[in-house]
A and B are shown apart, each in its own frame.
Chain A
Amino acid sequence: MGGFFKSSIGRKIAMALSAFFLMFFLIIHLAVNITSLFSEDVFNELSHFMGTNPLVQFALQPVLIFGVVFHFVMGFVLELKNKKANGVAYAKNNGAANSTWMSRNMIYSGLVILAFIVLHFIDFWFPEINTKYIQGDMSGMHDGNFRYFHELQHKFLNPARVAAYVVAFILLALHLLHGFTSAFQSVGATAGRKKTLQTFGKVYSIVIPLGFIIIALYHHLNH
């Protein structure tokens, strides 16, 4: 089994498994965030639960961080190996004749998402960790109210940040438009090539990033 994950196909399968995990995580993340459009209280309650529940904090969160890091590190490893497998570059190469732009540029859409993840950590994750585990304030309160919703509103005041979020989520959509069905193909499921799953993949790849974009824009325009 050890040799398996060192083989080209083993790496691909590991890549796909991490991607499935990330795609599942995105659904959960969006489901929590979307409540902020309807109810300040529900969003606060959910955020407080996610932020303080030991199972989420000490079991799921490390798995998630590992999943993200694994995915992009493996993405770089595969990209470097593939560059090495190329011979001399073609003087003329018509990639558009036989494949989609998304499929040829996963590393670039991935890099934009990675830059976004760094920004997102600086925006939300580091301050959370600082408040909760360094200052030891697990109350989730500020001036007698839950702080989460107000922090969210505050972040999206800045138009530059909102613009960066929108761009990153467009790139995520492009990443997923190829990635979703690709992951099925990688794990050997020909279902990825069937119409139903392709349609579902397209819907997923557009609806999820669009959801995040709407949330950012909504809070930018309503505060």
Chain B
Amino acid sequence: MNLTLKIWRQKDSDTKGQMVDYKVTDISEHMSFLEMMDVLNEQLVNAGEEPVAFDHDCREGICGMCSMYINGEAHGPDRGITTCQLHMRMFKDGDTITIEPFRAAAFPVIKDLVVDRTAFERIQQAGGYISVNTSGNTQDANAIPISKHAADEAMDAATCIGCGACVATCKNSSAMLFVGAKVSQYALLPQGQVEAADRVKNMVAQMDLEGFGNCTNTGACEVECPKGISLDNIARMNRELMKANIS
């Protein structure tokens, strides 16, 4: 199929960017979206132009690197997927596809479609861990019984790959689905209890410091999240923060 692409081009974080039109031809419907981008870039390199910079790594939907806001949605029109798992069969011959970077003040553009998501790393460093002494006498994790229900919910929360689609989609640029998932994954397990109060306080404080917005429960994040992280995790984070401030 033949497509028109409208792509955000921006030289670096200090330069103003703009949308630029490109044409690609003979795209197979079996290609992934990133493969289609590879075809475009090959074309640009052959023509002696600068290829479009975009993030990617695993290309199997597990690392969370690939981003892109495609036709007005994070990771494009399909559900429960990252951009590397989006296939060209979702589009029709002759379509015009708008491709933009994930937008949020806390996710500044580095180049073209690549944005800086290290704000997420700093939120993780503020409390997204448990402290375990690796002295050689470490207790076996399985020695503490955990209910099936709690284990399942913690596992669901832990599937968040930190891609940032929730922020990109949110009209408030709120990171609460991500932080909610990271808080929940520990809050649900006995191992997470020791640092529970400090964790939620510090992670929320870091989230606010990074300049993410305030959740208004539109639910857009949950719809666009490639891992189906539930809004219940945000409610849990809110409860955890209340608990941490009362005790």
Contacts and interface: CB of A to CB of B under 8 A. Distances in A.
Contact of A84 (B205, B211, B216, B234): B211
A91 B19 contact: yes
A111 to B, nearest CB: 15
Given A98-B219, A103-B216, A91 B6 contact: yes
Contact of A12 (B109, B173, B214, B236): B214
Contact of A85 (B71, B109, B173): B173
Given A7-B241, A82-B171, A104-B171, A92 B218 contact: no
Nearest to A182: B217
A85 B106 contact: yes
B21 to A, nearest CB: 12
B15 interface: no
A89 B109 CA distance: 13
Interface in A164-216: 178, 181-182, 185-190, 192-193
Interface in B231-247: 231-232, 234-239, 241-242, 245
B103 A87 contact: yes
A97 interface: yes
Contacts of A192: 235
A39 interface: no
Interface in B44-69: 69
Given A78-B216, A82-B174, A85-B172, A98 B232 contact: no
Contacts of A82: 171-174, 213-214, 216
Contacts of B242: 13, 188
B235 A190 contact: yes
B220 A193 contact: no
A131 B119 CA distance: 58
Interface string A75-87: 0001001101111
A85 B105 contact: yes
B176 to A, nearest CB: 8
Contact of B220 (A90, A99, A181): A99
A108 to B, nearest CB: 13
Given A84-B105, A85-B173, A188-B239, A99 B211 contact: no
A8 interface: yes
Given A81-B213, A97-B73, A188 B218 contact: no
Contacts of B208: 7-8
Given A1-B245, A8-B204, A104-B218, A94 B73 contact: yes
Given A106-B216, A182-B216, A92 B72 contact: yes
21 contacts: A1-B245, A4-B241, A8-B174, A9-B176, A10-B241, A81-B213, A82-B174, A85-B172, A86-B173, A86-B213, A87-B104, A89-B103, A90-B69, A90-B72, A92-B100, A97-B77, A99-B218, A103-B216, A185-B217, A186-B217, A190-B236
Interface of A: 1, 4, 7-13, 78, 81-82, 84-95, 97-100, 103-104, 106, 178, 181-182, 185-190, 192-193
